[in-house]
Amino acid sequence: MTMTAMAKPEAPSGCFPRAENRCHVVSNAPMNSEYRLLVVDAPETGLSAYAGQFFHLLCPATATEQPFLRRPMSIYRIDRENGQLGFLYKVTGKGTRALASLAPGDELNATGPLGVGFSLPEGTKHVAMVARGVGLATLAPLARMARAQGAMVTAILSARAPEFLMSRDELEAAGARVIEVNDVAGNSAPQEVINRLRDIHAETPIDFMATCGSNRLLGLTRDLCSEWRIPGQVAVEAFMGCGLGMCFACVVPVRDAQGHEEMKRVCYDGPVFGVEEVTAW
Amino acid sequence: MVDLFVTIGGVHMANPIMPASGSIAEGMADLVDLGKLGAIVLKTITPDIRQGVKPPRVVEYTDATLFSIGIPSKGPDYLLNHTVPFFARFGPPVIASISADTAEDFGTLAGYITDPRIAAIEANISCPNLRAHGRAFGMDPVAAAEVIRAMKANTDLPIWAKLTPNVGDIAEIARAVEDAGADAVVTANAILGMGINAETMTPRLGNVVGGLTGPAVKPVILRMVNQCAEAVKIPVIGCGGIATGEDVVEYMLAGASAVQIGTMNFVHTAAMEQSIAWVTDYCTRKNIARVAELTGALKLPVDQNSEQRGAVAL
Ligand SMILES: Cc1cc2nc3c(=O)[nH]c(=O)nc-3n(C[C@H](O)[C@H](O)[C@H](O)COP(=O)(O)O)c2cc1C
């Protein structure tokens, strides 16, 4: 198939809020033994992304594979000054293996920005973020967004071992205070993280929480949000068909305030939901 | 100037290209000028409100997908109050799609949604007939005809019968729905398939069985379109595996009067617009004044009759 070669020219900005952005790869380097950072030059529509949104990436054909569907990738860096977008990813399957083959100068067709991202209530003073694994990527732009709104940011980053920790620099550059925990040090268990958060809350009250990448972290975030009566949001990840709310493949059960459950699309109704809305994923 | 106009079962279309049911939703309007499409076919609704089947709902293959969604539906009032107004403002005729558990329910629903903003109703007869132990209406010529008759009795809108490819003789079903009064047939819905994960020893789909769609199915459905076109006088709408304008032309040569693009919209939102442009260029290049001239223009070997094509010695 040769569809890539004739991808749609970008829609005039202001006319269509989303587009098949024809981006160009600036770099695609490994960050550690697990993660790679893909940086691309992006057109204006792509740069209109905000924290928690994602792009649906057309994975290039390699000598052995041609992933048919696009792959959703949350946005890790929105650098409007330099006209660049960054995606932090872990090579886990066919799609991400294909992405890893991209070289500087190659074209990347990225549909987006897609989905509903984070929304920080006005007047938020202290955001606490807890994330694990690749979930960290999703929260980095939220730190910038929160700082820009005048909030203080504390980020607890969790990983299997210290060498797998990612995004510390990115988060610190965004103005976040970063706390690292890991399984080897034995300080990443939910109870430990909860105790940490309680101490932080006692010091400077937390009035918004965000999480991504772990069911256990979602659980503890939900509990603390309800105890402290503060809003919290989670970015949900799912395998997707279309990324645009059309195919209904990426649904998760979402509960409203009355306890009524409905299957909602991660790509279109999310990927960011209230922590109290999402049961499990 | 190429004349792209086609009239399909009572519906006038600016060009022969439209989305397949279930392949677009409101989100498509954020990227694509829906005003350029020949028609806008909506996702199937049922009389009741449904959540769809258990995830996982999609498996990826080479140039194909296996989906099992289960028709999540917000019912007819939501269709009339939200979906139809949303899509009607773009201009192209809006085609509703319905499904139900019994032929009578198909009829009642067709009557209920009859509305001047809807140009035709597609009958998705690939769903289980609860009166026939869940066998799809479209797998049985009698049940398929009953659905169409029930709809015709309740509405004056044109009815397009969307056939299932999961039959031995699709021409027989096409003839049955034509006799029952269908204004067009859509050939076809998805091919039943199954996926298994060897490592976990479990099915890959929550619903175990799903529908195979995407470019890989094109040769199968192209053959079925050709069989339907030879069997009936009403227009045949080709649907299955169309990705490019070249695919559109192939379907029209095989006998289709118009086409629907499904899965490809998920991968390339520009697929429909690009196909319209490609077909226009093709007609210009071939000196074809009207796109409708392509329908059935396939040059077949003169020494082979169509009966012979029905059974190939493999
Ligand atoms: C995710 C998905 C949802 C679909 N939903 C419907 C539907 O609601 N009603 C229907 O008649 N067909 C539905 N179909 C079938 C398509 O309309 C079409 O017949 C089929 O996908 C073959 O075309 P394609 O190969 O271009 O995708 C659906 C297909 C997919 C992949």
Residues A64-106 pLDDT 10s: 888 999 999 999 999 999 999 999 999 999 999 999 999 999 9
User: How far apart are alpha carbons B238 and B244 in whole angstroms?
Assistant: 13
User: How far apart are alpha carbons A103 and B176 in whole angstroms?
Assistant: 56
Residue A194, class by beta-carbon neighbours within 10 Å (0-12 exposed, 13-18 middle, 19+ buried)?
A: middle
Residue A41, class by beta-carbon neighbours within 10 Å (0-12 exposed, 13-18 middle, 19+ buried)?
A: middle
User: What is the pLDDT, as a whole number, of residue B9?
Assistant: 87
Mean pLDDT of chain B: 95
SS3 A148: helix
Q: Is B127 a catalytic residue?
A: yes
Neighbours of B108 (CB within 10 A): 17
Interacting residues of A219 by C-beta distance below 8 A, sequence separation 6+: A190
Tokens 């005048």, residue? A150
User: What is the pLDDT, as a whole number, of residue A12?
Assistant: 41
The two three-digit tokens of residue B286, written as one number? 């071939």
Domain coverage including residue B141: 6-51+69-196+212-310
Domains located in chain A, CATH noted: 19-114 (2.40.30.10), 118-234 (3.40.50.80), 236-281 (2.10.240.10)
Side-chain-side CA neighbours of A195 within 13 Å: the count stands at 7
Query: pLDDT higher for B311 or B197?
Result: B197
Q: Which of B91, B58, B73 is nearest to B25 (CA)?
A: B73
Q: What are phi and psi of B173, to 5 degrees?
A: -70, -40
B151 and A CB contact within 8 Å: no
The CA distance from B27 to the nearest CA of chain A, in Å, is 5
User: What is the pLDDT, as a whole number, of residue A4?
Assistant: 37
B70 annotated ligand-binding residue: no
User: What is the pLDDT, as a whole number, of residue B286?
Assistant: 97
Tens of pLDDT along B66-119? 999 999 999 999 999 999 999 999 999 999 999 999 999 999 999 999 999 999
**Chain B interface, mutation test: which of A242, A255, A266, most B Cβ atoms within 10 Å?**
A242
H/E stretch holding A191 reads helix A190-203
The CA distance from A61 to the nearest CA of chain B, in Å, is 11
Tens of pLDDT along A146-166? 999 999 999 999 888 887 777
Residue B30: alpha-carbon gap to chain centroid: 23
| B135-B65-B209-B50 Cα dihedral, nearest 10 degrees | -70
Please answer whether residues A139 and A212 qualify as being in contact, where contact means their C-beta atoms are separated by less than 8 angstroms: yes
Q: Is B206 a domain residue? A: no
User: What is the pLDDT, as a whole number, of residue B142?
Assistant: 97
Q: Is B243 a domain residue? A: yes
Tens of pLDDT along A31-50? 888 889 999 999 999 999 99
Tell me the chain A residues in contact with residue B214 when contact means C-beta distances shorter than 8 Å: 68
Q: What is the ipTM of this complex?
A: 0.94
SS3 A91: coil
Q: Is B231 a domain residue? A: yes
CB contact under 8 A, A247 and B58: yes
DSSP structural state of residue B240 = S
Whether ligand 1 lies within 6 angstroms of the CB of B214 is answered as yes
Mean pLDDT of chain A: 91
Whether ligand 1 lies within 6 angstroms of the CB of B262 is answered as yes
Q: What are phi and psi of A126, to 5 degrees?
A: -145, 110
Q: Is B290 a domain residue? A: yes
Q: Is B238 a domain residue? A: yes
Indicate the annotated binding residues of A for FAD: 71-74, 95-96
Domain harbouring B169, CATH code = 3.20.20.70
Whether ligand 1 lies within 6 angstroms of the CB of B242 is answered as yes
Tell me the chain B residues in contact with residue A241 when contact means C-beta distances shorter than 8 Å: 57-58, 65, 67, 266
User: What is the pLDDT, as a whole number, of residue A280?
Assistant: 64
| B214-B217-B221-B223 Cα dihedral, nearest 10 degrees | 150
CB contact under 8 A, B26 and A18: no
Side-chain-side CA neighbours of B269 within 13 Å: the count stands at 35
* Percentage of chain B exceeding pLDDT 90: 91
User: What is the pLDDT, as a whole number, of residue A34?
Assistant: 83
Q: How confident is the model at residue B313 (pLDDT cuts 50, 70, 90)?
A: low
User: How far apart are alpha carbons B268 and A111 in whole angstroms?
Assistant: 9
pLDDT < 70: residue spans in chain A: 1-14, 280-281
Q: Which of A117, A114, A3 is nearest to A61 (CA)?
A: A3
User: How far apart are alpha carbons B85 and B93 in whole angstroms?
Assistant: 12
Interacting residues of B135 by C-beta distance below 8 A, sequence separation 6+: B128, B129, B143
User: What is the pLDDT, as a whole number, of residue B314?
Assistant: 64
Cα→Cα distances B155→B21, B113, B119, B161, Å? 20, 9, 12, 14
Q: What are phi and psi of A109, to 5 degrees?
A: -90, 110
Q: Is B63 a domain residue? A: no
SS in 3 state form for B162-219? ECCCCCCCHHHHHHHHHHCCCCEEEECCCEEEECEECCCCEECCCCCEEEEECHHHHH
A-facing residues of B in 289-308 (CB < 8 A) are none
User: What is the pLDDT, as a whole number, of residue A5?
Assistant: 36
> Can you list the alpha helix ranges (DSSP code H) found in chain B?
75-78, 84-88, 103-112, 141-154, 170-179, 218-231, 245-254, 264-267, 271-285, 306-310
Tens of pLDDT along B238-292? 999 999 999 999 999 999 999 999 999 999 999 999 999 999 999 999 999 999 9
- What total number of domains does chain B contain? 1
Tell me the chain A residues in contact with residue B265 when contact means C-beta distances shorter than 8 Å: 242, 246
Interacting residues of B148 by C-beta distance below 8 A, sequence separation 6+: B123, B159, B161, B177, B180, B181, B182
User: What is the pLDDT, as a whole number, of residue A170?
Assistant: 86
Strand order in the sheet with A126-132: A177-182, A152-159, A126-132, A208-212, A232-235, A272-274
Q: What are phi and psi of B162, to 5 degrees?
A: -95, 110
Q: Considering only CA atoms, which residue is closest to atom 7 of ligand 1? A: B22
Whether ligand 1 lies within 6 angstroms of the CB of B265 is answered as no
User: How far apart are alpha carbons B15 and B5 in whole angstroms?
Assistant: 5
